[in-house]
Every structure is written in structure tokens, then in C-alpha cells.
Amino acid sequence: MNKYSLLLFDLDDTLLENSSWFDDGLVHSLTEHPVTRGMDGQLFLKKIKQPPKSLIAKLISGEINTYEFKIERWKSAFDYFDVKVNNEAIEQLESLFHNISLKFITINENVLNLMNELTKHYEVGIVTNGLYDPHQKVINMGLGDIFSQDKIFHAEPLGFRKPDSRIYHIALEAFNKKPEETLFIGDSWTHDVIGPMEVGMDAIWVNFRGIEKPTEHTLFAMVSSIGEIRDVLLRNRSEK
């Protein structure tokens, strides 16, 4: 008998491919703002996506909030180009990027059809560390009816991030589910596999990068793309 009744998903690079909005949105934004117009957009993108590890550590520890992280991430990228930019200009860029990037998020029929199939058999939710409004992303993806705002658990307003056990417990409590009734599905080994497993959930790893398992944790399943979970979960459900 299938013991799982709840699926908790990561959002970015799981249900939503980051390059479909972040990469294109950022490069496009750089061409529109006078401060960055004419810069090497691809190189700037690379620097934005690879901020200093010390900066990431400060965000994870709570030493800085997401607003401060975003500002410092822009500054770090500008430093590479030896360009000094004040906070006002960075806020303008950040706002421009946010508005433009969301337009690059569109309906993925494959994901929409998958979720419609899964919701016939499972309750579903999203647990995300994403820095940008997950509810708006979900709406743009055509999944707003499936993932209403009360089914999205976002690190920023909650005040703690995966793999902090509290964020998983909040999601479980909202659905009134036990960990053993729940599967977590995502691309991050730390956030979407180890974190959930340490609170008693099983996990499906979306290993789209094709890397080796970093630890010996036992997975419920490993897939290379979100579409592959259809066979894993619906086959498993049919065996009830």
C-alpha cells in the first residue's frame, strides 16, 4: 500500500528551470539600464550567480537578510568590472530585473500536465528558499490553482531557510501530515534530500546535473528531470 499522501516540491531548478527566467531576465535587464548597458552580459551573469561564499554564509546564518544579500551580490559583480555603484542604482537594477525576469516565466505544459495528474492522488506543496516571490512565479507557470499561497512555504517571510528543520515542520503541520507520509522532491542534495530525511521524510532527488551522490543517504528515487517522477509516483500509486 502506498504510504505517501503529500508531495513537497522545491521550486527553482525543480519545477521551474532557473535558466528560463533568471539568466535571460538578468542579461536582458543589463542591456536596458544605463549603468550596465555595454557590459559583457554573460560574464556579469556568471559573477552574479557565483557570489563569494562568505556572502552566502552570512545569508544562511541570518547575519544578513535577503535584501542585503541582493545588494551585496550586485556590488560583488560590479567589483569584478571595477565599477562602483551606489545602493540607489542597484535597487533600480534589482527592480528592473525582477519585473523583466518574471515575464520570462511562462506555462510549461509538461509540468502543468504532470501536476494535474499528481493532484488526483496526492496533496502538494512547495518549500522554497528562492529570493524572489514564489507565488508570482507559480501563477506565471499556470500553477496558481494547484499551489495556492497557503501551500507555498517561503524562507524569506518565515525567517529561516532549508535545511533548517523548522521550515519542513511548518509545511507538515499545515497539511496535518506526518513525515513518513511525505515525499520531498528537489534538486539540492543538502536542502531537498538530507534536510527532509533528517526530519523523517523520504526524498526524490532531481539530479539534472548528473552528479554522483554526495553521501550514502538512501533515496526513494533519483531522476534526471521533473518529468520522470510521473512513472515513479503514479506507478507506485497504482500498486495500492
Question: Are 161 and 228 in a shared domain?
Answer: yes
Is 156 inside any structural domain?
yes
Tell which of 83, 103, 123 closes a domain.
103
Is 204 inside any structural domain?
yes
Question: Are 117 and 32 in a shared domain?
Answer: no
- What pLDDT is recorded for position 100? 94
CATH code of the domain covering residue 182: 3.40.50.1000
Residue 33 pLDDT > 80: yes
Question: Are 54 and 70 in a shared domain?
Answer: yes
For the stretch 63-95, pLDDT in tens is: 999 999 999 999 999 999 999 999 999 999 999
Question: Are 67 and 89 in a shared domain?
Answer: yes
Question: Are 131 and 55 in a shared domain?
Answer: no
For the stretch 152-183, pLDDT in tens is: 999 999 988 999 999 999 999 999 999 999 99
Q: How far is CA 57 from the centre of its chain?
A: 18
Residue 236 pLDDT > 60: no
Tell which of 73, 103, 133 closes a domain.
103
Exposure on the CB side of residue 178, measured as CA atoms within 13 A: 4
Question: Are 111 and 98 in a shared domain?
Answer: no
In this structure, are residues 28 and 206 in contact, taking their beta carbons and an 8 Å threshold? Answer: no
Question: Are 221 and 132 in a shared domain?
Answer: yes
Other Cβ atoms less than 10 A from the Cβ of 53: the count is 8
Is 1 inside any structural domain?
no
Query: What distance in Å separates the CA atoms of residue 50 and residue 53, rounded to the nearest whole number?
Result: 8
Question: Domain residues for 59?
Answer: 22-103
Sheet containing 152-154: order of strands: 152-154, 123-128, 6-9, 182-186, 202-206, 221-223
Question: Are 33 and 140 in a shared domain?
Answer: no
pLDDT > 90: percent of the chain: 89
Question: Are 43 and 118 in a shared domain?
Answer: no
The residues with which 184 forms a beta bridge, in sequence order, are: 8, 203
Query: What distance in Å separates the CA atoms of residue 81 and residue 216, rounded to the nearest whole number?
Result: 41
Question: Are 228 and 187 in a shared domain?
Answer: yes
Residue 31 pLDDT > 80: yes
Tell which of 58, 83, 103 closes a domain.
103
pTM here is 0.92
The grid coordinates of residue 62 equal 541570518
Query: What distance in Å separates the CA atoms of residue 162 and residue 185, rounded to the nearest whole number?
Result: 13
Q: How many domains does the chain have?
A: 2
Question: Are 187 and 135 in a shared domain?
Answer: yes
Is 195 inside any structural domain?
yes
Is 224 inside any structural domain?
yes
For the stretch 100-137, pLDDT in tens is: 999 999 999 999 999 999 999 999 999 999 999 999 99
Question: Are 68 and 123 in a shared domain?
Answer: no
Q: How far is CA 128 from CA 10, 132, 178, 216, in A?
A: 5, 10, 19, 24
